[in-house]
């Protein structure tokens, strides 16, 4: 019963009863609490202490100081002085096992009333008496394994029940012969020699033991009636589990006798062998002493020879030291020479790196200059020649209208067609040299425009994928990537025989990547690289060299019958052209 010296273990109170001895009893949803008013300490009673349920609905006290407690599982009679609990349920005449909160009352005559879900239960506590009958205890079944043992033989006091070491387990059933409320009879058992104390099994009247060691045991059985009156004498059953033959006294004695005999024989044999071995050792020691004397003389001779050899080695040592000093001086001169060569090579490599940087800057300036020249020519064709041809077309249309009557309409129509063709070719050349969309909207819109144009002319489906964020790209680099992409697309149209092509543009920190993939016939990329001077491969070679001169690269992955994948990668340079050219 747990004690809390300061407070109750639950804050919700269902019922309170001040007892005549000054103890305060409190009913809560977690059990019955009692508080000693002198010390203020709480003691808790719950199902583990014998109560049928922890929800205490009502508490009343009779003349003898016993508490009558209503719960959600019957009524309990609690004798605080004896610390004894007696439970009543529907089988004892209650209206139900479940009672309501605050539904309890004690009349002046001592009659108690407890309200439940099916009505009210009333009684006089003095009229309820415990069953005084001490029930006889009988053994109703005893099994060794699956075999039923004769109960007459099992309960015999003269002969114990014998089990072999293979049948080291048994089970049994018992009964307390009281039929008032047999389902409330309680049982307990103890196997003396195995259990340290009684095992209380409640209403369960059967048990079993397994894996018992060989030896003598006494099985004690006892039981009680429905009111907990125990037959303390009960019945007892003596058991004997026979050990296997290797655990019997005669077998162990035989083994010990055999071991002693073997040890004696072994000792005698061992002593004889040791004496024989000692004689052999003495003879060997004499022979070894003579051999050692001979070896000692040989060692003395060898020491003299070794001394002469050490003198020779000392002379050779001085010669080697002189050769090492000479070789060290030569190596020092060689190291100095190598250091000078390395320093010169470092300077040459630094000069080469600087030269490569200048070449890269010149290539960048050359690309920018070329693009500016393209744009200048495009503007010239559009503003000068294009405007002139347009003006000529207007004039020709005017002349055609005025000369229809003169019969020269056919020649004027031919001249007008040639002028219109020249205008179309001029516009096409203007767009080829420098598309305005590239300078106005950027790289991705220019590639999309180029794909729509080629898709309408050559029946190839192009799809363009790009990052949702706008590219932060130098205009000159944008021009270079556009012309390189156009060169790859022209190669797809001319040689791949593709139906679909996909172009991806994305920026990764300071690098711009354009990837073009098609489902065409493919080619041998290695052979193309080995024959870059061929006319068909020169365009891609030119693109690769221009990218390489600006720190970029072009990667081609292709295989015959599996399409082609071209990846253009270029570092996003933020320096202006003028700074690069200086």
Q: What is the DSSP string of 202-226?
A: ET--EEEE-SPPSEEEEEEEEEE-T
Provide the pLDDT for residue 55: 93
pLDDT value at 575 more than 50: no
Residues 34 and 26: their CA atoms lie apart, in Å, by: 6
**Could you tell me the sign of the dihedral formed by the alpha carbons of 529, 535, 540, 545, in that order?**
positive
Architecture field, domain 3-127:
7 Propeller (2.130)
- pLDDT digits 0-9 by tens, 49-94: 889 999 999 999 999 999 999 999 999 999 988 888 888 888 888 9
Provide the pLDDT for residue 72: 92
Provide the pLDDT for residue 311: 86
Question: 433: which residues sit within 8 A by CB, 6+ positions away?
Answer: 374, 375, 377, 378, 381
Provide the pLDDT for residue 395: 65
Provide the pLDDT for residue 59: 94
- pLDDT digits 0-9 by tens, 484-511: 888 888 888 888 788 888 898 888 777 8
Instruction: Express as a percent the part of the chain with pLDDT over 90.
Output: 16
Q: Which of 105-114, 177-186, 237-246, 398-407 has the lowest mean pLDDT?
A: 398-407
Provide the pLDDT for residue 553: 82
- pLDDT digits 0-9 by tens, 169-186: 888 999 998 888 888 888
Mean pLDDT of 397-422: 63
Residue 312, classified by CB atoms within 10 Å of its CB into exposed (0-12), middle (13-18) or buried (19+), is exposed
Provide the pLDDT for residue 391: 62
pLDDT value at 124 more than 80: yes
- The greatest distance separating any two alpha carbons of the chain, rounded to the nearest whole angstrom, comes to 157
pLDDT value at 408 more than 60: no
**pTM of the predicted model, to two decimals?**
0.38
- pLDDT digits 0-9 by tens, 18-30: 988 888 999 999 9
pLDDT value at 134 more than 80: yes
Give, rounded to a whole angstrom, the gap between the first and last alpha carbons of the chain.
Answer: 97
Residues 127 and 107: their CA atoms lie apart, in Å, by: 15
226, two tokens: 């429905």
Q: Which of 4-8, 146-150, 222-226, 291-295 has the lowest mean pLDDT?
A: 4-8
In contact, 500 and 461? CB cutoff 8 Å: yes
Average pLDDT, the chain: 80
78 SS3 class: strand
Q: Which of 205-209, 385-389, 456-460, 477-481 has the lowest mean pLDDT?
A: 385-389
Task: Annotate 403-450 with DSSP letters as a single string.
Answer: TGGGT-HHHHHHHHHHHHHHHHHHHHHHHHH--HHHHHT-HHHHHHHH
Other CB atoms within 10 Å distance of the CB of residue 467: 12
Give the C-alpha distances (Å, rounded to integers) separating 363 from 33, 224, 452, 462, 569.
97, 111, 31, 31, 16
Residues 322 and 130: their CA atoms lie apart, in Å, by: 122
Residue 407, classified by CB atoms within 10 Å of its CB into exposed (0-12), middle (13-18) or buried (19+), is exposed
Buried b (16+ CB within 10 A) or exposed e, 145-172: eeeebeeeebeeeeebbebeeeebebeb
- pLDDT digits 0-9 by tens, 326-353: 888 888 888 888 888 888 888 888 877 7
Provide the pLDDT for residue 102: 87
Model confidence band, residue 316 (pLDDT cutoffs 50, 70, 90): confident
Mean pLDDT of 505-527: 81
- pLDDT digits 0-9 by tens, 462-486: 888 888 777 777 777 777 788 888 8
pLDDT value at 133 more than 80: yes
Provide the pLDDT for residue 121: 93
155 vs 503, residue with greater confidence? 503
Other CB atoms within 10 Å distance of the CB of residue 581: 15
- pLDDT digits 0-9 by tens, 410-424: 666 666 666 666 666
User: What's the CATH fold of domain 436-581?
Assistant: Heat Shock Protein 90 (3.30.565)
Which candidate, 440, 438, 457, 458, places its Cα nearest to that of 448? 438
pLDDT value at 397 more than 70: no
* CATH code linked to domain 137-247: 2.60.40.10
Provide the pLDDT for residue 31: 92
């Amino acid at each position: 019963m747990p004690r809390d010296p300061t407070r109750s273990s639950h804050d919700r109170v269902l019922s309170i009863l001040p007892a005549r001895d000054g103890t305060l009893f409190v009913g809560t949803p977690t059990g019955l609490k009692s508080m000693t008013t002198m010390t203020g300490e709480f003691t808790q009673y719950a199902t583990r202490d014998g109560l049928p349920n922890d929800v205490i609905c009502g508490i009343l006290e009779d003349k003898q100081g016993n508490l009558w407690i209503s719960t959600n599982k019957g009524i309990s009679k609690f004798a605080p002085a004896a610390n004894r609990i007696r439970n009543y349920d529907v089988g004892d005449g209650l209206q139900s096992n479940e009672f309501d909160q605050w539904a309890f009352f004690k009349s002046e005559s001592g009659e108690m009333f407890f309200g439940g879900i099916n009505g009210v239960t009333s009684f006089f506590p003095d009229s309820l008496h415990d069953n005084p009958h001490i029930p006889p205890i009988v053994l109703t079944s005893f099994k060794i394994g699956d075999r039923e043992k004769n109960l007459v033989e099992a309960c015999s006091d003269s002969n114990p029940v014998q089990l072999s070491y293979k049948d080291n387990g048994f089970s049994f059933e018992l009964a307390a012969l009281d039929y008032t409320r047999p389902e409330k009879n309680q049982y307990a058992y103890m196997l003396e020699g195995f259990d340290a104390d009684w095992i209380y099994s409640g209403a369960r009247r059967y048990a079993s033991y397994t894996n018992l060691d060989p030896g003598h045991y006494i099985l004690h059985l006892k039981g009680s009636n429905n009111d907990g009156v125990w037959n303390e004498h009960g019945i007892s059953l003596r058991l004997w589990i026979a050990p296997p033959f290797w655990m019997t006294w005669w077998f162990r004695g035989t083994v010990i006798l055999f071991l002693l005999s073997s040890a004696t024989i072994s000792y005698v044999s061992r002593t004889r062998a040791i004496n024989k071995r000692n004689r052999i050792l003495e003879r060997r020691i004499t022979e070894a002493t003579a051999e050692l004397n001979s070896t000692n003389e040989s060692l003395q001779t060898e020491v003299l020879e070794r001394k002469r050899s050490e003198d020779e080695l000392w002379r050779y040592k001085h010669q080697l030291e002189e050769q090492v000093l000479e070789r060290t001086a030569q190596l020092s001169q060689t190291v100095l020479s190598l250091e000078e060569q390395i320093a010169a090579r470092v300077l040459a490599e630094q000069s080469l790196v600087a030269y490569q940087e200048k070449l890269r800057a010149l290539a960048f300036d050359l690309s920018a200059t070329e693009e500016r020249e393209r744009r200048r020519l495009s503007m010239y064709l559009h503003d000068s020649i294009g405007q002139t041809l347009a003006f000529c077309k207007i004039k020709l249309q005017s002349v055609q209208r005025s000369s229809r009557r003169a019969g020269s309409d056919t020649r004027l129509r031919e001249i007008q067609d040639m002028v219109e063709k020249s205008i179309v070719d001029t516009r096409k050349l203007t767009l080829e040299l420098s598309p305005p969309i590239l300078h106005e909207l950027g790289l991705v819109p220019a590639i999309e425009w180029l794909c729509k144009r080629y898709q309408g002319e050559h029946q190839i489906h192009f799809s363009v994928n790009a990052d949702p964020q706008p590219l932060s790209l130098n205009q000159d680099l944008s021009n270079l990537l556009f012309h390189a992409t156009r060169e790859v697309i022209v190669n797809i149209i001319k040689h791949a025989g593709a139906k679909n092509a996909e172009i991806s543009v994305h920026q990764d920190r300071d690098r711009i990547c354009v990837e073009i993939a098609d489902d065409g016939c493919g080619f041998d990329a290695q052979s193309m690289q080995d024959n870059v001077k061929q006319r068909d491969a020169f365009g891609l070679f030119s693109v690769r060299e221009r990218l390489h001169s600006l720190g970029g690269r072009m990667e081609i992955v292709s295989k015959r019958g599996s399409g082609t994948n071209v990846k253009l990668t270029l570092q996003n340079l933020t320096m202006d052209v003028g700074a690069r050219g200086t």
